[in-house]
Structure 1
Amino acid sequence: MKHRRVGAVMSGDVVRARSGTPAGELARWMAEFGINGVPVVDADDRVIGMVSATDLDRARRAADGYQGRSAQDLMSAPAHTVRADDSVVRAARLMSAHRVERLPVVDEEARLVGMLTRRDVLGLFARSDEEIRDEVIDEIVVRTMWLNSGSIDVVVRDGTVTLCGCLDSSGQADVLVRMVRQVDGVVAVVGRLTHRREEAYPGPDAAVDRGGPGP
């Protein structure tokens, strides 16, 4: 799952606006096509911003409403974008980090080539939160990190994993977060871990001195 690329799931048929497109027209498009965001492009089809349904709603509530307002007045710039060859996991994490529902897909010259929605992403992550939690606990916490299953509290919601607990070292906490990020279906990891000392973690495969007679 984590190797799927944005280009394989994006929509190539994208409603787009110019900087001078009236706000009222944007609102009509969103209602007609059932979308909650429209990318704004320049004359060369390069993405210069994004107008969301929230931007429109904020403008509508203003004293003068949409009067005289255009996409350029309302858009967020620069827009958060992805490339067609980016992984879907990277795109999902970008959506989560910036709390956006849609990402314009651009080519190497920043020209619009498609649109990726949160629905597109979630459609690929067929794993339930419970399945993700079970793998994190069984495969990583217990079998790989050699930790007691009750020492780490793992909460998963919509693919976002929150880790709570106290570990021996800062390095151990860093390794745990990195490993959980690689689990299929994980969109983001929130590390609320504490540690007893600042120390690099040798890793679960490192040799362990268990004591014994000297030479």
Structure 2
Amino acid sequence: MRIQVKDVMTTTVAAVNKKAPFHVVAQVLIDRSVSGLPVIDSDDHVVGVVSEADLLCKAEFKERFYGDDYRPPLRARVRHMAGSEHDIYRKSVGHTAGELMSAPAVVATPNDSVVRAARLMDRHGVKRLPVVDAEGRLVGIVSRHDLLKVFTRSDEAIRNDVVNGLPPLAVSSIEVTVKDGVVGLTGQVDKNSQAIAAARHAENVDGVVGLRDELTWKLDDIAANLPYFGGT
């Protein structure tokens, strides 16, 4: 079974309307102890994300250009180079969530796999993703913390998924054990290709943190350059 975003996301979401004033956005961030919020329109469509960093542009810009001895730290200078001075200035003079936010928002859908969600977070350097339905309306939020839930699956659940996805002609020859998320494969199958398919499948099951592959085979069809039919 593939774990999807809808299986781990939070459905009670703190969000702000794009017309929400600066102080309201700041207060929600503080009250909910989060570093970012989805920004929505009047129909709950996600139009952007506003973060602590977006709000702090106001103070940072003032000090940067009006302070006597201010020099932004390296992280801030890198961020400024990655963006644009105009964007920083826009946020520094913004008064509403819509003026402060970063847009478009990087979002996930309920049916996305947790792997895709993790890759999106890594690619865009964000810690959470608004989750939207087919019309772009906010239905939840998924964070890095939520994605860790996949690694709390029971050993029994992981074993069932591994067994159910083994090559049909090899399943009876393979013994599967799972301990603390580490899968063990033992036994002898007919072909090397079946062993490879079994190992690849086991590694890709959600919640697996390691693989101990001790499978052997009777015929090395890979080395013999024989046709490979997916382990069947």
Match of residue 74 from structure 1: 100
Provide the secondary structure at the position in 2 that maps to 1:83. Answer: coil
Note closer, same or farther for the CA distance 1:60–1:185 as it changes in structure 2 (3 Å cut). Answer: farther
Once the two structures are superposed, the pairs formed by residues 71-150 of structure 1 within 5 Å of their partners are 71-126=97-152, 144=196
- Within 2, Cα distance between the matches of 1:205 and 1:7? 41
Identical residues among aligned pairs (%): 42
Provide the secondary structure at the position in 2 that maps to 1:206. Answer: coil
Provide the secondary structure at the position in 2 that maps to 1:29. Answer: helix
In structure 1, runs of 5+ residues without a counterpart are 136-142, 145-177, 187-203, 210-215
How far 1:182 moved relative to its partner? Answer: 3.8
Once the two structures are superposed, the pairs formed by residues 34-53 of structure 1 within 5 Å of their partners are 34-53=33-52
Deviations 1:97-137 (A, max 9, x none): 1111110010000000011111111232349xxx99x98xx
Provide the secondary structure at the position in 2 that maps to 1:4. Answer: coil
Aligned residues: 153
- Within 2, Cα distance between the matches of 1:205 and 1:25? 66
- Within 1, Cα distance between the matches of 2:92 and 2:28? 14
Note closer, same or farther for the CA distance 1:87–1:9 as it changes in structure 2 (3 Å cut). Answer: same
Provide the secondary structure at the position in 2 that maps to 1:63. Answer: helix
Provide the secondary structure at the position in 1 that maps to 2:142. Answer: strand
How far 1:60 moved relative to its partner? Answer: 3.0
Q: How well do the aligned residues superpose, as a CA RMSD in angstroms?
A: 3.6
- Within 1, Cα distance between the matches of 2:221 and 2:117? 32
- Within 1, Cα distance between the matches of 2:221 and 2:141? 42
Match of residue 27 from structure 1: 26
How far 1:66 moved relative to its partner? Answer: 6.6
How far 1:22 moved relative to its partner? Answer: 1.5
In structure 2, runs of 5+ residues without a counterpart are 64-90, 154-179, 184-194, 209-219, 226-232
- Within 1, Cα distance between the matches of 2:150 and 2:107? 19
Assess if the C-alpha contact under 8 Å between 1:24 and 1:66 holds in 2.
no
Question: What amino acid maps onto 1:23 in structure 2?
Answer: F
Provide the secondary structure at the position in 1 that maps to 2:10. Answer: coil
Q: From the CA coordinates, give the structure whose radius of gyration is larger.
A: 2
Are 1:206 and 2:222 an aligned pair?
Answer: yes
Single out whichever of 42-51 and 68-77 deviates more from structure 2.
Answer: 68-77
